């Protein structure tokens, strides 16, 4: 399938379709078989701004073409939760935008830039973004970007490895949270591949 065909397939996607895209438990890669559903929620622009970096606002997000999104999150039930190197949470998110170009703009001008602009900033709830590192994901139908973000959470280091990828007007996001300073690009990419399949499946249905 060509990129143009994917763009065409997402031309008529609506928010009802977006809700079907994030992975359910049975669709998670096998390495996350011990993870259980934690929460799922609608992510309108107001909610995104409230949980975003300081200074985020819904008007800015709508202005760059974001319509809305939906998220499903899972947490580990392994007893060694407090151990350095343990992956404790995974999530997948699908966001809908006005145009494919708006997805590209978000990936570079909001996702990557906002993380890098907030290094050293207190982001609330006794959390501070300590460092970020751009990563190089591969194997996707269209463009993908990724980074590792290191947080200090009440004196404890937590890593978030995040992959953003495009499927036409849809932005897919896969997230792996890990205790300590650890990069999980392989794991996040595996999660993102499964999400990409789900997005394409819904778009073509």
Instruction: Give the model confidence (pLDDT) of 51-104 as tens digits.
Output: 889 888 999 999 999 999 999 999 998 766 568 999 999 999 999 999 999 999
Dihedral pair phi/psi, residue 178, rounded to 5°: -135, 140
CA 7/CA 170 separation, integer angstroms: 9
Q: What is the pTM (predicted TM-score) of this model?
A: 0.95
Distances (CA, A) of 147 to 81, 134, 135: 23, 4, 5
Q: pLDDT for 138-175, tens place per residue?
A: 999 999 999 999 999 888 999 999 999 999 999 999 99
């Amino acid at each position: 399938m060509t990129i143009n065909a994917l763009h065409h397939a997402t031309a008529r996607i609506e928010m009802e379709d977006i809700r079907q895209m994030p992975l359910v438990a049975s669709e998670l890669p096998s390495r996350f078989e011990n993870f259980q559903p934690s929460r799922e929620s609608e992510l309108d622009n107001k909610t995104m701004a409230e949980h975003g970096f300081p200074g985020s606002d819904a008007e800015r997000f709508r202005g760059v073409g974001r319509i809305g999104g939906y998220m499903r999150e899972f947490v580990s039930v392994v007893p060694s939760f407090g151990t350095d190197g343990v992956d404790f949470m995974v999530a997948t998110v699908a966001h809908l935008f006005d145009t494919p170009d708006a997805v590209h703009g978000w990936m570079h001008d909001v996702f990557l830039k906002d993380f890098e602009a907030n290094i050293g900033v207190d982001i609330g709830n006794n959390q501070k973004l300590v460092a970020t590192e751009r990563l190089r994901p591969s194997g996707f139908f269209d463009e993908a970007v990724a980074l590792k973000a290191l947080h200090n959470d009440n004196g404890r280091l937590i890593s978030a490895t995040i992959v953003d990828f495009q499927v036409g007007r849809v932005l897919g996001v896969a997230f792996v949270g890990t205790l300590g300073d650890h990069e999980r690009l392989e794991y996040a990419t595996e999660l993102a591949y499964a999400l990409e399949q789900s997005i394409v499946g819904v778009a073509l249905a």
